[in-house]
Structure 1
Amino acid sequence: MTGGNATGRAHGHACLVYDDPAALHARTVEQVGLGLAAGEQVWLVGPEDPDAVARRLAAVPGFADARRHGAVRLFRVDEAYRRDEVVDPGSQVRAYVRATTEALAAGHTGLRVLAEATDLVRTPAQRDAFARYEHRVDHWIRHHPMTAVCAYDRRVLGDAAIAELACLHPETNADVLFRLHAGDDDAAVALAGELDPTDECLFAAALERAEPSPVAGRLVFDATDLRFVDHRALLLLREYAHRHGAVAVLRTHRPAPARLVELLGLTDLRVEVVR
């Protein structure tokens, strides 16, 4: 799944939006195949009874044997998450840290998860907490042998609710203009796509949920995959960094943001143009 807005640096954390259960099934079959081929342990998490899921996957080569030996594990969503409650982001990340560690100890090369998480994000409070969790687990995934597909049913949630979650993944098929996800090296977060006035509120919410922390007085935003940024987004970055006692640094391939910062006189927002 790449879509028109994915970057070339996605790191195994994708948001799948679907309208047809057949699309979810196809992705499930794909993830099982990829995981088994890579020697990973595969977790399939969803609202259905595991035996019903197993019957649908019975024809997938190697599935039955892999389930028998623990290479594929099936869970109801309330076994892997706190269903119908507000997820605690830190606790949920720690649960997947343990699961990844246990998969490695059992001789697998890593952990691959496909989670149908619609039931966990039905209310605004649930979405707020789960969005915070999505960004935290994204950092774990970026640097450890775990991959994840987070699936959401558009028929239940609608596009606006899904956008709150999809924009916090490096890869998605959802119709979102920007993505904010874990960065590399000294970058607190990475930004991709376009930041324009139509998504100002969504971007502000994503930034607050990600809660990037400064290092040595600098809050570095890797914007090398950002095609466009308007002045409102620059002001949001500056204000966020100021509230955290830091200088905002926008790292980009494009000279236009530097010119805009100069025109606006934003002396406490620095632009690093890199090649």
Structure 2
Amino acid sequence: MQIPTKRAGTPSPTAHDHVCWGYRRPAEFAAEAQEFLAEGLAAGEQVLYVAPGAKDFLEGQLRSAGRFDEGLRSGAVQAASVGGTYTTGTVVDPAGQVRLYAAATEEALAAGFTGFRVAADATSLVRTPAQLDAFARYEHLVDRFMATHPMSAMCGYDLAELGADAVAQLACMHPRAHEVATPFHLHGHARDGGAAALEGELDMESRRLWPLALERADLRPAAGTTVIDAAGLGFIDHRSLSALADYAERRGTEVVLKTRLSTPARLLELLDLTGVRVERV
């Protein structure tokens, strides 16, 4: 299947949004999801609401907002249970799930919409360590897709059920997060064709999360070099640089860190770390 890289019609001003939304009451996520979907609908996108419950119940939630009735009649607005969109109770196939959303995006474009937008409560899909690991990998992989295609997503996670640490593992794979404490974001919206973008701060708070995120991102090298767009990085300590050097050695690649910071190059020299090269931007 060949996926188009240009939007049909007028481009959506909110295209390429991908936000992790932590919540403590389902009603909170439902309200924010409706706002997110309404923005896409106003921009000519086809929108999908995914949450626990039967399709009729979810459509009723949307109708109660008073602004999705026409969209539900025309097909511009759709609703689906989590079980109807993902295989609940099992470990997600990251690449397979991206292919499903790529097909949905292609179908939306073919129908004349400007893009495809989904708000999904994914709490039930990350309850076990294996599910969490696979879904974090999926979050980064689908973000790569969204970086070059007109798909947007809001991913909801119940902080009260999952815990802040688990949700942070998912949030750090998004460009944006709400109500979730994550010190950095490693995502697919990189400039100039980089393998990933890196924003935030890498310090003591990141010492466990950063190596885990690197492994899950499975960054794609080009000609033996893995470029990370770190223009949005505010700080990186020696532990995080060592973890990056370890990653480069394991993957047999040279990592190029494009950053505005001057300290990483000095730290690499002082620590005699190899496999990582700094380019100032």
What is the rounded CA distance, in whole Å, between the counterparts of 1:137 and 1:231 in structure 2?
30
Give the structure 1 partner of residue 156 of structure 2.
151
What is the rounded CA distance, in whole Å, between the counterparts of 1:223 and 1:79 in structure 2?
38
Residue 227 of structure 1: SS of its match in structure 2? strand
- Tell whether 2:279 aligns with 1:272: yes
Output aligned runs, 1:245-264, within 5 Å.
245-264=252-271
C-alpha contact (below 8 Å) 2:58/2:80 kept by paired residues: no
Output aligned runs, 1:79-228, within 5 Å.
79-173=84-178, 174-182=180-188, 183-228=190-235
- The AA in structure 2 aligned to 1:236 is A
Q: Unpaired segments of 5 or more residues in structure 1?
A: 1-9
C-alpha contact (below 8 Å) 2:37/2:119 kept by paired residues: no
Residues 66-103 of structure 1: per-residue CA shift (max 9 Å, x gap) = 11111011000011101111101111000000000011
Residue 44 of structure 2: SS of its match in structure 1? coil
Give the structure 2 partner of residue 3 of structure 1.
none
Residues 97-124 of structure 1: per-residue CA shift (max 9 Å, x gap) = 0000011111111100000000000000
Q: CA deviation at 1:185?
A: 2.3
C-alpha contact (below 8 Å) 2:245/2:274 kept by paired residues: no
What is the rounded CA distance, in whole Å, between the counterparts of 1:153 and 1:163 in structure 2?
12
- The AA in structure 1 aligned to 2:275 is D
- The AA in structure 2 aligned to 1:91 is G
- The AA in structure 2 aligned to 1:239 is D
Residue 212 of structure 1: SS of its match in structure 2? coil
Give the structure 2 partner of residue 232 of structure 1.
239
Output aligned runs, 1:6-17, within 5 Å.
11-17=16-22
Q: CA deviation at 1:226?
A: 0.9
C-alpha contact (below 8 Å) 1:214/1:244 kept by paired residues: no
Q: CA deviation at 1:266?
A: 2.4
Give the structure 1 partner of residue 47 of structure 2.
42
Question: Which runs of 4 or more aligned residues in structure 1 lie more than 3 Å from their structure 2 counterparts after TM superposition?
Answer: 59-62
Q: CA deviation at 1:184?
A: 2.7
Residues 213-261 of structure 1: per-residue CA shift (max 9 Å, x gap) = 2111211111111111011111111121222222121110111111211
- The AA in structure 2 aligned to 1:22 is A
Q: Unpaired segments of 5 or more residues in structure 2?
A: 1-14
Give the structure 2 partner of residue 63 of structure 1.
68
Q: Which moved more, 1:54-63 or 1:212-221?
A: 54-63
C-alpha contact (below 8 Å) 2:49/2:119 kept by paired residues: yes
C-alpha contact (below 8 Å) 1:40/1:112 kept by paired residues: yes
- The AA in structure 1 aligned to 2:214 is L
Give the structure 2 partner of residue 4 of structure 1.
none
C-alpha contact (below 8 Å) 2:18/2:176 kept by paired residues: yes
Identity of aligned residues (%): 51
Q: CA deviation at 1:177?
A: 0.5
What is the rounded CA distance, in whole Å, between the counterparts of 1:154 and 1:266 in structure 2?
38
Q: CA deviation at 1:22?
A: 3.2
What is the rounded CA distance, in whole Å, between the counterparts of 1:127 and 1:23 in structure 2?
22
Q: CA deviation at 1:60?
A: 3.3
Q: What TM-score, normalized by structure 2, do the two folds share? A: 0.90
Residue 86 of structure 1: SS of its match in structure 2? coil
Residue 118 of structure 2: SS of its match in structure 1? strand
Residue 58 of structure 1: SS of its match in structure 2? helix
What is the rounded CA distance, in whole Å, between the counterparts of 2:33 and 2:277 in structure 1?
44
- The verdict on how the C-alpha distance between 1:247 and 1:152 changes in structure 2, with shifts beyond 3 A counting, is same
Q: Which moved more, 1:77-86 or 1:59-68?
A: 59-68
